[in-house]
């Protein structure tokens, strides 16, 4: 009985941290599946929806101490030529990407990340993600898809 309770507690803890991570990534709950239009990739920083290895974005997010820093926002983790911030939905028609990324990064000390995201959405500076930041899924010719497709 004790062993089952211990396993249950561990599963709840792991699920909580994955939820926490998604809440600290722009549109972390809306990142598109790289192969299946209309579906969402549930574990943004991982190589599969149910596997544990980190993808390139997940490793960069880990290196940034699980904060959406300016560097993480500007980086192109998957090497497809499109920055993480743009792939995750930042709208650069009013402000350029470095300005938006700096705003997000500088807000960490004074506001909750969810408040920053809400402000960006209400200001139409954050919209729907256009790609997955951890997989080469953009047709820019700069990288080869490095994940097994299948829906």
Residue 50 to residue 56: CA distance in whole angstroms: 16
Helices (H), the chain: 2-23, 56-63, 70-74, 84-87, 97-106, 113-122
Residue choice 34, 41, 57, 78 for contact with Ca ion (CB under 5 A):
78
Residues near Ca ion (CB under 5 A), total: 4
| Closest C-alpha among 80, 81, 53, 57 to residue 69 | 57
Rounded to a whole number of angstroms, the minimum distance from the CB of residue 78 to Ca ion is 4
- Residue 90: CB minimum distance to Ca ion, A: 12
CA distance linking residue 147 with residue 24, whole number of Å: 24
Residue 80 or 105 having the CB closest to Ca ion? 80
State the nearest-atom distance from the C-beta of 97 to Ca ion, in Å: 12
Note whether 82 binds Ca ion by CB under 5 A.
yes
Check residue 80 for interaction with Ca ion (CB under 5 A). Answer: yes
Q: Verify binding: residue 105, Ca ion, rule CB under 5 A.
A: no
Contact stretch for Ca ion (CB under 5 A) within 5-13, 20-28, 52-60, 78-86: 78-86
Q: Are 58 and 44 in contact (CB under 8 A)?
A: yes
Least CB distance to Ca ion at residue 82 (A) = 4
Chain mean position to CA 66? 10
Task: Name which position in 46, 57, 72, 76 contacts Ca ion (CB under 5 A).
Answer: 76
Query: Which tokens go with 63?
Result: 């290196």
108: tokens are 């960490």
Contact positions vs Ca ion (CB under 5 A):
76, 78, 80, 82
């Amino acid at each position: 009985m004790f062993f089952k309770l211990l396993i249950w507690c561990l599963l709840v803890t792991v699920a909580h941290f994955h939820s926490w991570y998604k809440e600290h990534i722009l549109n972390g709950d809306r990142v598109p599946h790289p192969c299946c239009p209309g579906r969402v990739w549930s574990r943004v920083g991982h190589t599969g929806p149910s596997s544990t290895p980190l993808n390139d974005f997940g490793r960069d997010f880990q290196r940034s101490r699980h904060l959406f820093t300016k560097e993480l926002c500007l980086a192109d983790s998957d090497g497809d030529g499109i920055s993480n911030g743009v792939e995750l939905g930042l709208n650069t028609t009013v402000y350029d990407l470095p300005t938006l990324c700096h705003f997000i990064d500088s807000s960490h000390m004074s506001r909750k990340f969810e408040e920053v995201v809400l402000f960006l959405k209400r200001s139409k500076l954050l919209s729907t993600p256009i790609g997955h930041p951890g997989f080469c899924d953009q047709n820019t010719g700069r990288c080869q898809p490095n994940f097994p497709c299948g829906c």
